[in-house]
Structure 1
């Protein structure tokens, strides 16, 4: 049974929701955040609301260049198709996306790491009518945190031994922490879980190696993936591209 406080809160929330003239009032607030992409899309995955950061990341000047279009029409192939497929899964009710670690290539082809969230929007009857999301640039490490040096020791191991099996228990031992502590401090200091940092480090290394002549299987092995297919799945989940597709785009980038 709901408490009186909860009931009053829900009534106040509903009344305020009806009173606000523009349900997309947050657009202006997100325009002021240069490190956060914000968007709202309709049930077909078309942009309805975007912030200025997203416009700039797409190499455009005005929001009108994005409104009414899907990511497949805005982003270069195959990135746009990947983002659109992700949207369709959310719109189908399969799953919301929470802090998906992603490597984005911007119009100038510089890579940037982000954490992406997407959530379905539902009407009063619970039907999905659209989706909303944000993509946050990974912030700099909080080196002022008292636990930074301990956690940094584990990070050094990740950076130096990413090609080896890395166990959370061993990283916790190196940092002289419990598993719960190291997970908590990783999030506070680096805004990533230990697992996400391992993925980031391995994908960073793999993307550099893809500029060379090593085969995808050799790169997978060097980056700690004994299974070639597991490496390809992880790489595509993080970058939106298969290793071979990334290699082709990287070759074009180096030739500019």
Structure 2
């Protein structure tokens, strides 16, 4: 291969990446090993509110999203680079207007020629733009919305079944099919995600964070928090305080 042919390679790579700008409903990004943006398509840039790629290069999710959401994205990146694959995970998150919306996310690690992991890449799709997937997910929309609005209270599974006009067994089957977790697990995750947000964005005592997130027993809250996020509530609070001091 001539030197002239070799010089074409970067341009060819750029052309392939630019193909992702032709997918109007897909966010696509590439990050380095430190979760800093190396590339992002037009839809991603619009989502985070920047005008061009240059404004996003070298930035992390902390530059674009609320701290509790950014922390989850970067935690995901680390898990992916440790070998955990994320494939078509259905999740609730905020859209451009701050409204809660359904998304479908997949992430993978990036390897160099020696097989070393050098970063990660991923795609996220708005489910409301995907009619087939959305119609499936809408089967549990009512109980999910009920949980989002009432997670601080003592929610009974029968309540959710009644809201969905299903039997308890049918409700649990649908949650497992579309969210890959039981209703109880989804309730717990919703409470814990709210608790993490309070830990990052407020100075409330951890016991009060637990209470405002629907947990009565502090020890149970700490145990469940550790199981989901692989760290204690106090560690999240201390890390956030350290970051604020550096800023």
Normalising by structure 1, we get a TM-score of 0.53
Q: Which residue of 2 aligns with 1:251?
A: none
Report the CA distance between 1:118 and its aligned residue.
Answer: 2.2
Number of equivalenced pairs? 213
SS at match of 1:39: strand
- Aligned to 1:25, what secondary structure does the other structure show? helix
Q: Does 1:51 align with 2:41?
A: yes
Matches within 5 A, 1:175-190: 175-176=166-167, 177-178=169-170, 181-183=173-175, 187=178
1:105 and 1:112 in contact (8 A); partners too: yes
Relative distance call for 1:30 and 1:63 in structure 2 (3 A) is same
- Rounded to whole Å, the distance in 1 between the matches of 2:66 and 2:171 is 41
Q: Which moved more, 1:71-80 or 1:58-67?
A: 71-80
Q: Tell me the CA shift for residue 119 of structure 1.
A: 1.3
The alignment's C-alpha RMSD in Å is 5.4
Partner of 1:135: 124
Residues 191-240 of structure 1, C-alpha deviations (whole Å, 9 max, x = no match):
7755475357647987999999x976456345443434357669979xxx
1:198 pairs with one of 180, 187, 198: 187
Distance 1:204 1:129 in 2: 29
Structure with greater proportional helix content: 2
1:45-75 deviation line (CA, Å, top 9, x unaligned): 33232111221222210112123x1416743
Q: How far apart, in 2, do the equivalents of 1:39 and 1:207 lie?
A: 25
Aligned to 1:63: 53
Q: Unmatched 5+ residue regions in structure 2?
A: 1-8, 231-235, 241-247
Where in structure 1 are there 5+ consecutive unaligned residues?
A: 1-17, 247-256
